């Protein structure tokens, strides 16, 4: 029998990092100790007090059964408390908060909750690929909103053709931004909310990096803006904030009808987050976050090493105020893929071609600094010997 996967899988664009993966294996086969700056996955361990909290919760048989779909009432209350302290936003933890098995799951399922076939979804380009694939899986039509250097990698919403804006169902935003490292001030969300209310578009903001910031910058929430609750939801994750990528814990907050629609979708495809992990999440959200400042200090030191080395090499880049990515311009004579291939072949260092995040990502490469500082220094030593 011939196995034919569904067209939604077959029609996905070929995996752009496949070439890089293949060359990486070839270079490794030659005995080179390849250093990856390709993936954004904190190397710093989850703080010990959070791990302790999981160990205790894992001993309680009450946690072995199916959890509540929307999340433990106490977890949702902890999220609401964190939002009040962090952003000054008050949320009804009953109706405006939903626990997620990591925010990627919520982002993908949100499209199933709100997008009908042929609906237009405005997706940032370059951007986190799930906004686009989630839309495609729901039968929607992604419309790329370019993030360019000229506008500080913020979308020009007013430049979206009226015809498109009027037909659009959903707009994705992500600040602090992956892959560009761009940040915004609250005024940006005032404009975005106004644009969405005027055109009756749902605003979904992915705030995965809100707590990874430097130089005193504090990322705003889209929900701080008046009117946001009429159109917006925001996605958060404990993955980056508390170095918990493998634990799979996140949450969505905002407009009660939208949170309800996401929750209804999820009740049909999953059965919630293991309660012991939610218990540990409560401990994390209610902590004094001093560990957070320590990890940001480690990242900031690496950021400065990296930006200094790249500029020394002649690569143009901004110093990011948040995230653990540097988005550097590809010099003349290279494409983002050919530059990444050169880094891999000649320095044994993996970086990510910007074209993997969308066509407007061409001309840039992304460096992630979630690797131990001595490894980063070694990578930079090798990279500085390159001739571009």
Ligand X SMILES: *Cc1c(COP(=O)(O)O)cnc(C)c1O
Number of residues that bind ligand X (CB under 6 A): 14
Smallest distance, ligand X to C-beta of residue 190, A: 22
Query: Is the CB of residue 79 less than 8 Å from the CB of residue 97?
Result: yes
Q: Which is nearer to ligand X, 195 or 251 (CB)?
A: 251
Q: How far is the CB of 25 from ligand X (least distance, A)?
A: 25
Contact map string, positions 128 to 167, toward ligand X, x by CB under 6 A:
x---------------------------------------
What three-state secondary structure class fits 137?
helix
* CA dist., res. 266 & res. 99, Å (int): 10
Cα distances (Å, whole numbers) of residue 113 to 93, 133, 134, 263: 20, 14, 10, 8
Q: Which stretch binds ligand X (CB under 6 A): 10-18, 99-107, 145-153, 371-379?
A: 99-107
Contact 325, 354 (CB under 8 A): no
**Minimum CB distance to ligand X, residue 349 (Å):** 21
Q: How far is the CB of 238 from ligand X (least distance, A)?
A: 7
Rounded Cα distance, 114 and 130, in Å? 15
Report whether the peptide linkage leading into residue 176 is cis, meaning its omega lies within 30 degrees of zero. Answer: yes
For the bound state, the minimum distance from the C-beta of residue 350 to ligand X, rounded and expressed in Å, comes to 17
Q: C-beta of 155: minimal distance to ligand X in Å?
A: 15
Of 131 and 143, which has the nearer Cβ to ligand X? 131
Is residue 237 within 8 A of residue 206, CB to CB? The reply is no
Q: Which of 109, 178, 221, 300 binds ligand X (CB under 6 A)?
A: 178
Strands (E), the chain: 35-36, 97-100, 120-125, 141-146, 168-173, 202-206, 232-237, 250-254, 325-329, 349-350, 352-353, 364-368
Restricting to residues 228-247, name those near ligand X by CB under 6 A. 237, 239-240, 245
Q: What binding mask, one character per residue, do residues 334-363 give for ligand X by CB under 6 A, x or -?
A: ------------------------------
Cis peptide before 179 (omega within 30 of 0): yes
Using CB under 6 A as the binding rule, whether residue 53 contacts ligand X is answered as: no
Contact 336/330 with Cβ under 8 angstroms? yes
Minimum CB–partner distance for residue 33 and ligand X (Å): 26
- How far apart are the C-alpha atoms of 345 and 11, rounded to whole Å? 31
Q: Is 102 in the site for ligand X (CB under 6 A)?
A: yes
List of residues 6+ apart from 371 with CB closer than 8 A: 35, 36, 37, 43, 379
Q: Which of 82, 199 has the CB closer to ligand X?
A: 82
Minimum separation from the CB atom of position 234 to ligand X (A): 12
Taking the alpha carbons of 25, 27, 29, 31 in that order, is the dihedral positive or negative? negative
Which of 46/178 has CB closer to ligand X? 178
Q: Give the largest Cα separation in the chain, rounded.
A: 61
Which CB atom, from 114 or from 252, has the smaller least distance to ligand X?
252
Nearest distance, CB of residue 104 and ligand X, angstroms: 3
Q: Determine the interface stretch with ligand X among 65-73, 101-109, 152-160, 299-307 (rule: CB under 6 A).
A: 101-109
Stretch that binds ligand X, among 88-96, 97-105, 278-286, 370-378 (CB under 6 A): 97-105
The reply to whether 174 sits near ligand X by the rule CB under 6 A is: yes
Distance CA 100, CA 249 (A): 6
Q: Within positions 192 to 211, which residues make up the interface with ligand X, using CB under 6 A?
A: 206, 208
CB of 124 to ligand X, least distance (A): 10
Work out whether 368 is an interface residue with ligand X (CB under 6 A).
no
Q: Does 109 bind ligand X (CB under 6 A)?
A: no
As a whole number of angstroms, the distance between CA 338 and CA 365 comes to 10
Residue in 70, 103, 109, 243 binding ligand X, rule: CB under 6 A: 103
Q: Which of 42, 124, 140, 250 binds ligand X (CB under 6 A)?
A: 250
What residues contact residue 284 under an 8 Å CB cut-off, 6+ apart?
47, 50, 53, 238, 241, 242, 244
User: Do 247 and 238 touch, CB atoms closer than 8 A?
Assistant: yes
User: Where on the chain is the footprint of ligand X (CB under 6 A)?
Assistant: 40, 102-104, 128, 174, 178, 206, 208, 237, 239-240, 245, 250
């Amino acid at each position: 029998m011939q196995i034919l996967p569904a067209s939604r899988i077959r029609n996905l664009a070929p995996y752009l990092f496949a070439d890089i993966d293949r060359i990486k294996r070839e270079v490794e086969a030659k005995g080179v100790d390849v250093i990856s700056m390709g993936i954004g996955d904190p190397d710093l361990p989850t703080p010990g007090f959070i791990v302790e909290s999981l160990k205790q919760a894992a001993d309680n048989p009450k946690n072995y059964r199916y959890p509540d779909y929307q999340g433990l009432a106490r977890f949702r209350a902890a999220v609401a408390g964190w939002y009040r302290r962090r952003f000054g936003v008050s949320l009804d933890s009953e109706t405006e908060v939903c626990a997620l098995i990591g925010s990627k799951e919520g982002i993908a399922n949100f499209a199933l909750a709100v997008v009908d076939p042929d609906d237009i979804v405005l997706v940032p380009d370059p951007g986190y690929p799930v906004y686009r694939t989630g839309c495609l899986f729901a039968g929607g039509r992604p419309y790329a909103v370019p993030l360019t250097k000229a506008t500080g990698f913020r979308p020009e919403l007013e430049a979206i053709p009226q015809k498109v804006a009027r037909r659009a169902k959903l707009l994705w935003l992500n600040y602090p931004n992956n892959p560009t490292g761009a940040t915004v001030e609250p005024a940006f969300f005032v404009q975005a909310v106004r644009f969405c209310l005027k055109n009756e578009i749902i605003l979904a903001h992915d705030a995965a990096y809100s707590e990874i910031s430097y130089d005193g910058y504090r990322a705003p929430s889209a929900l701080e803006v008046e009117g946001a609750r009429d159109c917006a939801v925001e996605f958060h994750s404990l993955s980056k904030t508390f170095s918990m990528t493998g634990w799979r814990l996140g949450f969505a907050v905002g407009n009660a009808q939208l949170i309800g629609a996401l929750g209804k979708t999820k009740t049909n495809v999953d059965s919630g987050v293991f309660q012991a992990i939610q218990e540990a999440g409560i401990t994390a959200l209610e902590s004094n976050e001093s560990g957070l400042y320590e990890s940001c200090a480690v990242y900031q030191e690496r950021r400065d090493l990296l930006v200094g080395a790249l500029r020394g090499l002649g690569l143009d880049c901004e110093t990011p105020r948040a995230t653990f990515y540097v988005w550097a311009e590809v010099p003349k004579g290279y494409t983002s893929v050919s530059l990444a291939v050169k880094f891999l072949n000649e320095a044994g260092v993996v970086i990510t071609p910007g074209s993997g995040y969308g066509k407007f990502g061409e001309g840039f490469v992304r460096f992630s600094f979630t690797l131990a500082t001595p490894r980063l220094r070694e990578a930079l030593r090798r990279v500085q010997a390159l001739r571009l």
